[in-house]
């Protein structure tokens, strides 16, 4: 069973209800959390969101890749990737 992801508007409404505050305050809290995660991970750090998981930046070395359309092998330069490790509490909630 697949469902549509919750939109930001729906998330802000649920957050404001859970916090017992207005939507403007909930939206500001969500935006602040997003900004903190983005700036920390972009700087190469990691951040743990309790009950959800850990978001981190991981360096990937230069490597050989293959273009599936042409079969051509080329060198892809080193870059960074965002990795998310899901918390055990969330895994247990989903599977329990």
Residues 55 and 74 in one domain: yes
Domain span including residue 72: 45-96
pTM greater than 0.85 (yes/no): no
What is the structure's pLDDT at 96? Answer: 84
What is the structure's pLDDT at 3? Answer: 84
What is the structure's pLDDT at 65? Answer: 93
Q: Is the Cα torsion angle 15, 21, 25, 29 positive or negative in sign?
A: negative
Longest dimension (CA), the chain: 57
Cβ–Cβ < 8 Å for 15, 30 = yes
Residues 76 and 96 in one domain: yes
What is the structure's pLDDT at 46? Answer: 96
Environment class of 12 (CB within 10 Å of its CB; exposed 0-12, middle 13-18, buried 19+): buried
- Give the Cβ contact number of residue 53 at 10 Å: 18
Query: pLDDT averaged over consecutive 10-residue blocks of the chain (96 residues)?
Result: 86 96 96 96 94 94 93 93 94 92
What is the structure's pLDDT at 92? Answer: 94
CATH of the domain at 59: 4.10.520.10
């Amino acid at each position: 069973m697949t469902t549509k992801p919750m939109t930001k508007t729906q998330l802000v409404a649920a957050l404001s209800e859970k916090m017992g505050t207005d939507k403007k305050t909930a939206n500001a809290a969500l935006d602040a959390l997003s900004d903190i995660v983005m700036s920390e991970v972009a700087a190469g750090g990691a951040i743990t969101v309790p009950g959800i998981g850990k978001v981190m930046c991981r360096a990937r070395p230069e490597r050989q890749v293959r273009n599936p359309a042409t079969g051509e092998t080329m060198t892809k330069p080193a870059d960074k990737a965002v990795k998310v490790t899901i918390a055990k509490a969330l895994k247990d909630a989903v599977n329990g």
